Amino acid sequence: MPVHHLEETFQQTVDAEIKIEAKDWMPEAYRKTNLRQISQHAHSEVVGMLPEGNWITRAPSLKRKAILIAKVQDEAGHGLYLYSAAETLGMSRDQMIADLHSGKAKYSSIFNYPTLTWADMGAIGWLVDGAAILNQVMLCRTSYGPYARAMVRICKEESFHQRQGFEALLVLSKGTQEQRAMCQDAINRWWWPSLMMFGPRDSESTNSDQSMKWKIKRKTNDELRQNFVDMIAQQVKLLGMTLPDPDLKWNEARGHYDFGEINWDEFWNVVKGNGPCNRQRLQARINAHEEGAWVREAAVAYAQKQSAKQKKVA
Ligand SMILES: [Fe+2]
Ligand SMILES: [Fe+2]
């Protein structure tokens, strides 16, 4: 079939809400966009373990420690589902990880900010996982089958992440003067970076139109960001805290909250690798990979032993 016919059939499949599967014909740009997006998402899950992993030994109680360990493990699992989904598009996991470690592949900039106090664990769960959920709920209906299916399970775990974060802040917000101040300070530091997680404004976003047409995305960056602001502006009242934005105000006519301008210089600076923790995170990730080499080797040796055994039996 000539390519333009294949493209037409492909678009009809997408329009009919039928999932695209790994072995289906797809435009090269669709494959590449998905591969970039899914692998970047996988990297974000795995790098996201680092700032929180730092607090496991410092969690204030056994209960908090158990919750935090469970959350960090969930993120590892998310990384694994997503690497598997990305592999169906023709790149090996080893290659993806090599690209992450060389700096060629990106991960979410949010993880390049430091976690200074225990309240940051709450703020990350509530704000960072909260922002991620909005994006991920949309992705449960993305057109590429393996990605959409991975997101269904991930979303269930993400809602636990957000609740535990909010609950940790709720406890602090009812605590001593010092605890309340720590809670407010964490919210102040994580608010703007969380808004940046939705990416550049629609007018600046280069891939947006095509991704909407292919139903890779179903909402634009600005729509998702607005949903997030509307949700958090309400929830913050329950904490008795404030968001650090003097322009935040309910707009009756729009039926949404208005909010201030993001510092886009800061956004691009962190994307380009100059955030407060870019170098530190990447180095920690490389170290973890190297220190875990013996585990991978042991797993391969075990798998070989098992398959040799099975061959003998057969
Ligand atoms: Fe996750
Ligand atoms: Fe999460």
For residue 208, pLDDT over 80 is answered with: no
Cβ neighbourhood burial of 101 (10 Å; 0-12, 13-18, 19+):
middle
Averaged confidence pLDDT in the chain: 95
Ligand 1 centroid to Cα of residue 183, in Å, is 23
Spatial contact of 109 and 48, defined as CB atoms under 8 Å apart: no
Ligand 1 centroid to Cα of residue 110, in Å, is 13
Q: Which ligand is nearest to the CA of 162?
A: 2
**Which residues keep their CB under 5 angstroms from ion ligand 1?**
45, 75, 78
Cα dist from 99 to 36, 120, 216, 234, 295, whole Å: 11, 29, 23, 40, 21
Ligand 2 centroid to Cα of residue 161, in Å, is 5
Ligand 1 centroid to Cα of residue 74, in Å, is 7
Q: Which ligand is nearest to the CA of 43?
A: 1
| pLDDT at residue 309, rounded to an integer | 94
Q: Which ligand is nearest to the CA of 44?
A: 1
How do residues 79-132 score in pLDDT, each as one tens digit? 999 999 999 999 999 999 999 999 999 999 999 999 999 999 999 999 999 999
Cα dist from 121 to 22, 49, 175, 272, 279, whole Å: 37, 11, 16, 25, 21
| Residues 47, 33: Cα–Cα separation, whole Å | 21
Ligand 1 centroid to Cα of residue 287, in Å, is 21
| pLDDT at residue 4, rounded to an integer | 83
What confidence category does residue 3 fall into, taking pLDDT thresholds of 50, 70 and 90?
Answer: confident
Ligand 2 centroid to Cα of residue 28, in Å, is 31
Ligand 1 centroid to Cα of residue 20, in Å, is 23
> Is the alpha carbon torsion for 220, 221, 223, 227 positive or negative?
positive
Ligand 1 centroid to Cα of residue 158, in Å, is 6
